[in-house]
Homo-oligomer: A and B are copies of this chain.
Amino acid sequence: MLKSETRKKLKRYIEELKTIKTETLQTDPKFLTVESTLYYLNNGKTIIREQLKKQNQDGSASIVLPVTKNKKILFVIEPRIGPKKTVAVGLPAGYIENNEKPLDAAIRELEEETGYVCTKYHLLAKYYQDPGISKAYNYAYLGLEAERLKEQSLDPTEAVRFLECDYDEALELIRLGYIEDLQAQFVLEKAKQYLSKRREPYEF
């Protein structure tokens, strides 16, 4: 069950960040671009495939599931173009910058989006996000002993709220359709699995 306090905060943040109007622009895309390539296969076939790039890069990203000293999971709430409610609950994440290590990107994005800092990180999974159209290769981390030590540091085009939840509340957020993001759902599974197998199982 969602605690009343969690539910109230969530509703407030969604109200604050929801889209009230949209306007289609005729300008050329600046962030997402597409390249066509002809692939000659070893079996003699040739196939055309289109590759999505983000800021002219592969679009590889790091994502982190932060768990606080009180065993709460830290989620971020952001405007998102995918979901019908125009606002989504997910995990801190962002693109890996040029020459940046994946773990450094995770640490940086967590700090920028929330001001939280973790003392330990564990790599939970790595994967291609959509390998049919993109070379984006993402790294998912568990961050332990998260604590709010800094202020958020957002781009002017970002609007991010954050929310601490119990693990059971997180499952309820999936069930209620607030956490609809594939990566957030997967990383939650992997974190639970990893923590339950530790020598001293870590109860959420």
Contacts and interface: CB of A to CB of B under 8 A. Distances in A.
A106 B167 CA distance: 31
Contacts of A185: 125, 127, 186
Interface in A103-153: 125-138
Query: How many copies of the shown chain assemble into the complex?
Result: 2
A176 interface: no
Interface in A33-79: 33-43, 45, 47-52, 54, 79
Interface of A: 15-43, 45, 47-52, 54, 79-83, 86, 88, 90, 125-138, 157-159, 180-183, 185-186, 189-190, 193
Given A19-B40, A23-B40, 16 more contacts: A17-B42, A22-B38, A24-B36, A24-B38, A25-B48, A29-B36, A30-B36, A32-B50, A37-B81, A43-B159, A45-B159, A83-B128, A127-B181, A130-B182, A137-B180, A182-B186
Contacts of A157: 47-48
Given A39-B22, A50-B29, A189-B189, A133 B81 contact: yes
A127 B182 contact: yes
B22 A41 contact: no
Nearest to A36: B25
A34 B33 contact: yes
Contact of A35 (B24, B49, B133, B182): B24
A42 to B, nearest CB: 5
Contact of A27 (B31, B36, B133, B135): B36
Contacts of A127: 180-182, 185
A18 B29 CA distance: 32
A81 B16 CA distance: 39
